[in-house]
Amino acid sequence: MPATATAPLPVLETVLLKRDGRLLTITLDRPEALNAFDEQMHQDLVDVLAFVADDPSSDVLVLTGAGRAFSAGGDLAYVADNAHHPERFDADVRRAKRIVYGLLDLDKPIVCRLNGHAIGLGATLALLCDIIFAAEGAKIGDPHVSVGLVAGDGGAFVWPQRIGHARAKEYLLTGDPIPASTAAEIGLINHCVPASELDGAVDAFCQRLLAGSRNAIRWTKVLVNLELKRIAHAVMDPGIAYEAVTVRSADHRAAVEALLDKRTPSFHDDDPERER
């Protein structure tokens, strides 16, 4: 039989795709912005996940970031603009929902190469991967509350599934980032390794998957993800609705302004009876 032609890779503005045999690496590629999400990256990742789901030329995926960060979450300038134009946020959060479901529906195993900090939506992306290898010195956290937002774009369901509700609440209600070494100790991620050993560890694990039974691996992932998808479908819509309300709040606008001014936010909600 003639060899099957390798499917061509799409060229995108903020996400790079690279093949190595049946291994496909997806790289978030805004290194100058620490791979923070703007409108284009939201859409590019939606498009990438749609492509890889049907890509006949790949069996194992790696998700990583260019430069020194995995992803800093929301691009601050873009978040600040959205605080005054929340209808733009509504479109982005719908894309975030498609990203979450795209990762959960993907039957190919996806390994996260956490090369640096993963914050907010960046943390959610990492935690929705199947196996996470992180470099020492990296941190992972979901600081939605730190900017007056509900953690509605995935964090509220994926963190408890990895480390239990008590620990998840501690980190989600404070927004505190966790060193990769601690994240590995509590089971939030799989492995924390020296940065010089990250590539070797990721590649060795990917080669094990590539040498395994493709269908057995894929369908085992599908089964494990069934419960996670059930919870996601119960939580994502109300989570997005709550986050959409808070993006319109005075607290969020004040927090963004404080970050731009490099000062600590002061929160008062929208309650006129609360002492200011």
Q: Can you give the residue ranges of every domain in the chain? A: 15-260
Please state, in angstroms and rounded to a whole number, the distance separating the CA atoms of residues 245 and 149.
Answer: 9
What CATH superfamily is the domain 15-260?
2-enoyl-CoA Hydratase; Chain A, domain 1 (3.90.226.10)
Coil, strand or helix: which one is 63? Answer: strand
Percent of the chain topping pLDDT 70:
96
Task: Output the pLDDT for position 87.
Answer: 81
| DSSP category for residue 73 | S
pLDDT band of residue 268 (cuts 50, 70, 90) is confident
**pLDDT score at 88:** 82
User: With contact defined as beta carbons under 8 Å apart, do 131 and 202 qualify?
Assistant: no
DSSP three-state, residue 261: coil
Q: State the angle between helix axes of 86-105 and 76-84 in degrees (0 to 180), rounded to the nearest 10.
A: 130
Question: Per-residue pLDDT averaged across 137-155, rounded?
Answer: 96
Taking all residues of the chain, what is their mean pLDDT, rounded to a whole number? 93
Give the residue with greater pLDDT, 85 vs 1. Answer: 85
Q: 125-160: b or e for each residue (b if 16 or more CB lie within 10 Å)?
A: bbbbbbbbbbbeebbbbbbbbbbbbbbbbbbbbbbb
Average pLDDT over residues 30-51: 96
Q: Please check the confidence at residue 83 and state whether its pLDDT lies above 70.
A: yes
Per-residue model confidence (pLDDT) at position 107: 98
Mean pLDDT computed over 137-163 = 96
Q: What is the pLDDT of residues 218-245, one digit of tens each?
A: 999 999 999 999 999 999 999 999 999 9
Of 77, 75, 78, 98, nearest in space to 88 by CA? 78
Alpha-carbon distance of 41 to 133, in angstroms, equals: 23
For residues 177 and 114, give the distance between their C-alpha atoms in angstroms, rounded to a whole number. 14
121-131 residue pLDDT tens: 999 999 999 99
Return the H-helix or E-strand segment holding 210.
Answer: helix 198-211
For the cut 80, the answer to whether the pLDDT of residue 5 exceeds it is no
What is the reported pLDDT for 271? 57
Name the residue among 27, 16, 7, 12 with its Cα closest to residue 202.
27
Model confidence at 84: pLDDT above 90: no
Is-contact 23 60, C-beta < 8 A? yes
Task: Please give the pLDDT value at position 270.
Answer: 61
37 pLDDT higher than 60: yes
